[in-house]
Amino acid sequence: MTGEKILDIVRGIYSCDSQKYQQLLRPWQYDKSIGPAQSDMAMCNHKKTNCMKTYLKQCSNASSKVSKIPRISIGLASKLLLEFRNLKIIHLLRDPRAVMNSRYKLGWTPVPGGAVSLCTKMKKDYQQSVKLRRLFPGRIHTVFYEDMAQNFEEIVKEIYSFLGYQLNAKEQIRLNRMTSSSKNGNAGSTQRRNSTLTARAWRYSINTKVLIENNKACSDLYQLLGYPQLGSKTEARNTSVPLRITVK
């Protein structure tokens, strides 16, 4: 899918034009053998009568529209900053070894090629985000997953402030319950018994080859983003080594 088509999907979301982005997604769904029946809106219509009307009403009346868009480049997303004057971008980063560990287990991208591609993109995205913060003050905010896992309340307050909202007591309690749940949810769930342990879990399960190849490809990125080098699995499992070293 081309960059412009991706942006058209995002435009459809922010314009509450569900037909537009569903139409754009349909060829991709067929190509990936997903089929239109598995689309979010199709599933919604299957479960509820007038689901589309409900969605459009909620979307049109919403004070904010939030979309999580994995893998889109910051350079591409930034094109919308000129188009949507109220648009803000939260750029989420995570240790590339954790990302590659997950992808390797799922069989998505092998090393070393996957590690080289990932870290090249992450470096470029981060450098672009730094430039964009100067060009568009107050409209792009960088968040590190590891910082959020360890200092959840502080980082969430920063995010709410960036978006122009105040984190009230009720919302704070709800979010704390999500990250300190009595039990862990599934892989796609936000429910976590201990967020810090979740953020550190990859260090105990990472394949040696994945760790070595990532270190070869991403050493300069670690330094740029403040991630420890971790030359071996023994170092990775050492709990005295922080998830992230603050970059000054």
Q: Please indicate, yes or no, whether residues 9 and 50 belong to a single structural domain of this protein.
A: yes
The last residue of one of the domains, among 15, 44, 66, is: 66
Closest CA to 244 of 224, 228, 223, 220: 228
Q: Please indicate, yes or no, whether residues 85 and 147 belong to a single structural domain of this protein.
A: yes
Per-residue model confidence (pLDDT) at position 34: 46
Q: Please indicate, yes or no, whether residues 109 and 31 belong to a single structural domain of this protein.
A: no
Q: Please indicate, yes or no, whether residues 59 and 74 belong to a single structural domain of this protein.
A: no
Q: Please indicate, yes or no, whether residues 86 and 98 belong to a single structural domain of this protein.
A: yes
The last residue of one of the domains, among 25, 51, 66, is: 66
Q: Please indicate, yes or no, whether residues 181 and 238 belong to a single structural domain of this protein.
A: yes
Per-residue model confidence (pLDDT) at position 52: 61
Host domain of residue 82: 68-248
Per-residue model confidence (pLDDT) at position 38: 47
Q: Please indicate, yes or no, whether residues 114 and 206 belong to a single structural domain of this protein.
A: yes
- Encoded amino acid at 96, one letter: P
Per-residue model confidence (pLDDT) at position 1: 61
Total count of domains within the chain: 2
How far is it, in rounded angstroms, from Cα 140 to Cα 174?
A: 25
CB-based contact 175:149 (threshold 8 Å): no
Reduced to 3 states (helix: H, G, I; strand: E, B; else coil), residue 184 is coil
Distances (CA, A) of 61 to 30, 54, 88, 171, 224: 32, 11, 19, 21, 41
Q: Please indicate, yes or no, whether residues 190 and 152 belong to a single structural domain of this protein.
A: yes
| Long-range Cβ contacts of 153-161 (<8 Å, 24+ apart) | 159/90
Q: Please indicate, yes or no, whether residues 77 and 153 belong to a single structural domain of this protein.
A: yes
Torsion of CA 104, 109, 111, 115, to 10 degrees: -100
pLDDT along the chain (248 residues), means of 10: 80 80 60 47 52 73 86 92 93 96 90 95 97 96 94 91 90 79 54 75 94 95 96 95 81
